[in-house]
Amino acid sequence: MHVQAILFTFAPVMKKSDSKYCGCLYYSANALSRLMTKMADEEFAVVGLSSSYAFLLMTVNNKPGIQPNKISEEMLLSPSTITRLIEKMEQKKLVERKSMGRTTEVYPTEESLKLDPKIKEAWKKLYHRYSDLIGKDEAKTLTAKTYEVVNKIG
Amino acid sequence: MHVQAILFTFAPVMKKSDSKYCGCLYYSANALSRLMTKMADEEFAVVGLSSSYAFLLMTVNNKPGIQPNKISEEMLLSPSTITRLIEKMEQKKLVERKSMGRTTEVYPTEESLKLDPKIKEAWKKLYHRYSDLIGKDEAKTLTAKTYEVVNKIG
DNA sequence: AAGAATTGCTTGTACATGCAACTATTAGCT
DNA sequence: AGCTAATAGTTGCATGTACAAGCAATTCTT
């Protein structure tokens, strides 16, 4: 306890910036989001995808035939965004749409399924990367807290 | 301690969604960011601005003559983004640029200064809005934690 | 069974943001 | 003084995301 205090006094954690906005959740949430997205995009680059597409594929690979509707819920993105994501992945021959009446089912292609382990691997690396940077427990609690707040607000 | 446990057992917090991604910081940070941005945009709509522009104006109003450079640091946005934001606000006659050599100084117009109290008011309402939703202490600690992580990662 | 409401998905459009490449200016070195 | 390096800012381009409006299919109502 004492040691901690002394350490903090003589060796404070260096902050990169200290904006007048740092007490605002809008600000810090957005800043973190941008950083995490950049980090995720870097990791998923090994499979030639940016983060959103990687998550889309994992979602579809996990539940072949899932409806855009449900993907939207799972990824917390708007239906129109999901349409756009699916379009792009269809162009790349990584998913296929089967429309039946007003509903649509989205299926992974062979290639997407073959890619799946690599995507999951990249995802794991992402996890380790930020966990190493900020501490495993710290990462877990922040993630949980954040998600909890998302559920309260959204 | 015991009471807590019992409460949790018999009255768990109801979650809206429970994605397989909820343990990923990329995912929760992005979700929160989107929600907060939406909320902020709603609040700042009373002054006819979306959130980024409101923050830009507050920054410039607070330090007239500030350089884009410094705005970028304070807002944790890339220089090019700041250029774009300034352009728009210049079109709306809310800021002015004075270029001197390679440096540029950004000044608020009268109108921007007149708008300032309303922007700050909207900002305060934003704060209360999410604080009411998730609890004041909860909001404060999450904001602080998030900002801390931003400093560690960024 | 016909019209109304709802649902699932898509499209047009707009916006926020960043990267990479560029220009212009200043600072540093010799 | 002159060349090089660094810095400040801008621009072209690409991407991710959402809203509003639309279309098509289904369900509800009476």
Interface mutation target, options B36, B37, B59, B77, chain A, most CBs of A under 10 Å: B36
Average pLDDT over chain B reads 89
Q: Is residue B14 part of a domain?
A: no
Could you report the per-residue pLDDT of A111-120, keeping only the tens digit for each?
999 999 999 9
Q: Calculate how close chain B gets to A7, using CA atoms only, in Å.
A: 17
Q: Is residue A14 part of a domain?
A: no
DSSP A96: E
Q: Which residues pair with B97 in a beta bridge?
A: B106
Q: Is residue B15 part of a domain?
A: no
Q: Is residue B148 part of a domain?
A: yes
- What confidence score (pLDDT) does residue A35 get? 96
- What confidence score (pLDDT) does residue A10 get? 38
Residue B18 has pLDDT above 90, yes or no: no
Could you report the per-residue pLDDT of A51-78, keeping only the tens digit for each?
999 999 999 999 999 999 999 999 999 9
Whole domain around residue B54: which residue ranges? 24-153
Based on its alpha-carbon atoms, the radius of gyration of chain A, rounded to whole angstroms, reads 20
The type of residue at A111 is E
> Number of folded domains in chain B?
1
Residue B10 has pLDDT above 60, yes or no: no
What's the pTM? 0.87
- What confidence score (pLDDT) does residue A3 get? 41
Q: Which residues of A touch B137 (CB under 8 A)?
A: none
- What confidence score (pLDDT) does residue A125 get? 95
Contact B145 A143 (CB under 8 A): no
Residue A11 has pLDDT above 70, yes or no: no
- What confidence score (pLDDT) does residue A12 get? 39
Mean pLDDT of the region A15-27: 80
Least trusted range by pLDDT, from A19-23, A44-48, B38-42, B119-123:
A19-23
Contact B21 A74 (CB under 8 A): yes
Interface mutation target, options B13, B16, B21, B33, chain A, most CBs of A under 10 Å: B33
- What confidence score (pLDDT) does residue B12 get? 39
Going A58 to A64 to A68 to A73, the CA torsion angle's sign is: negative
Confidence of residue A154 (pLDDT cuts 50, 70, 90): confident
User: What nucleotides of chain D have any atom within 7 angstroms of a protein Cβ?
Assistant: 7-12, 15-21, 24-26
- What confidence score (pLDDT) does residue B13 get? 41
- What confidence score (pLDDT) does residue B103 get? 95
> What protein residues sit with their CB closer than 7 Å to strand C?
A 30, 34, 38, 67-69, 79-80, 82-84, 86-87, 97, 99, 102-104; B 50, 52-53, 76-78, 80-81, 84-85, 88, 100-103
Q: Is residue B4 part of a domain?
A: no
The percentage of residues in chain B with a pLDDT greater than 70, rounded to a whole number, is: 89
Q: Looking at chain B, which residue has its C-alpha nearest residue A149?
A: B134
Q: Is residue A113 part of a domain?
A: yes
Q: Is residue A58 part of a domain?
A: yes
Q: Determine whether the distance from the CB of A44 to the nearest atom of strand D is below 7 Å.
A: no
Average pLDDT over chain A reads 89
Coil/strand/helix, residue A108: strand
DSSP A63: S
Mean pLDDT of the region A92-102: 94
Residue B113 has pLDDT above 60, yes or no: yes
CA atoms within 13 A on the CB side of B81: 14
Burial call B82-93: b when 16+ CB within 10 Å, e when fewer: beebbebbeeee
Q: Is residue A24 part of a domain?
A: no
Residue B73 sits in a domain of what CATH number?
Answer: 1.10.10.10
Contact B33 A28 (CB under 8 A): no
